[in-house]
Amino acid sequence: MTRSPGGACLAVDMAGGGLPKGLCNNEKMIIRQIAGALGAELHGVDLTQALTPDLQQAIRSALLQHQVIFFRDQDLSPEQFMRFSHTLGQPVEYPFVKGLEGFPCVIEVKKLEHEKVNFGGIWHSDTTYLERPPKGSMLLAKEVPPYGGDTLFANQYLAWESLSDTMKSLLEGLVGISSSAKADVSKTREDRIKSDGKDSAPKEYLAHHPLVRTHPETGRKALYVNVAHTSGIVGMTDAESTPILNFLFQHQVKPEFTCRFVWQPHSLAVWDNRCTQHNPVNDYHGFRRVMHRITLAGDQPV
């Protein structure tokens, strides 16, 4: 990898200099960091084509380094989207919403013109109410509004590392209670459950996870609570846990920990749920926004 004169772009040379060969027809994948905290756009990659093992590894490495990566102009069919997802992990079904016909792991995330509430419109890490929450999520833009509908992402490594030593000592060893039934997030999926819901889905999922988890691949610690799903702390009363959680909910999404992605048709975002949160901004009433999403199987947080 080489740094550009401006310091913002990295070119991964797949054709020479002792580095891996075979980046489609373009010879270079360009990595352009979009914010100080996290996030990078990857250019020079055609995901409609099969990727070489070296390119797959370069993309996985970029995801681990930048926590969320973005691609532009990827007009993927569900079959192509699924093929790419297998290079990053194992796709799994979403608990509450049915997948596309023939593609049960690809769900439609949409807000229609007459709807006021967007799907998942709150800061969160995906489905932390499961015993084994997904390691990653992938979102592909099919239809976007003329303005608005951006997605915010927040770096939970930085959220943890910026805490005082005293607060770190308090949090280490504590276990959070995650629920799928917290009122604020439940409202954000009501429209989709009505139109595309699974009849077999239970009313509530509940899981216990550490407030601070260690990333299984990088070894870094990340804050692992979120306002959408974390409802309490094991062994504490609500009166004791609420002030701690409310502080963390505000702290972990400070502007300096975030990046913002402006969607275009056929844009694709891939993020690491183990060390990030995201929040789709609901500022496009009267317009349609349709995305395809795949989630990737994860492990039990420790």
Annotated active-site positions, please?
124, 126, 278, 293
* Structure-token pair, residue 119: 């799907």
Query: Considering only CA atoms, which of 224, 234, 238, 230 is closest in space to residue 277?
Result: 224
* Structure-token pair, residue 238: 């609500």
Within 10 A of 184 (CB to CB), how many other CB atoms are there? Answer: 12
* Structure-token pair, residue 251: 């702290």
CA 177 to chain CA centroid, Å, is: 20
* Structure-token pair, residue 94: 């979403």
At CA 185, angle to CA 163 and CA 170, rounded to 5?
25
User: Which residue's structure tokens are 């550009």?
Assistant: 4
* Structure-token pair, residue 188: 């954000």
Cα separations (Å) of 257 from 122, 216, 220?
16, 21, 16
Question: How far is Cα 83 from Cα 71, in angstroms, rounded to an integer?
Answer: 16
Question: How far is Cα 55 from Cα 3, in angstroms, rounded to an integer?
Answer: 19
Query: Considering only CA atoms, which of 177, 145, 163, 284 is closest in space to residue 241?
Result: 177
CB 108 within 8 A of CB 100: yes
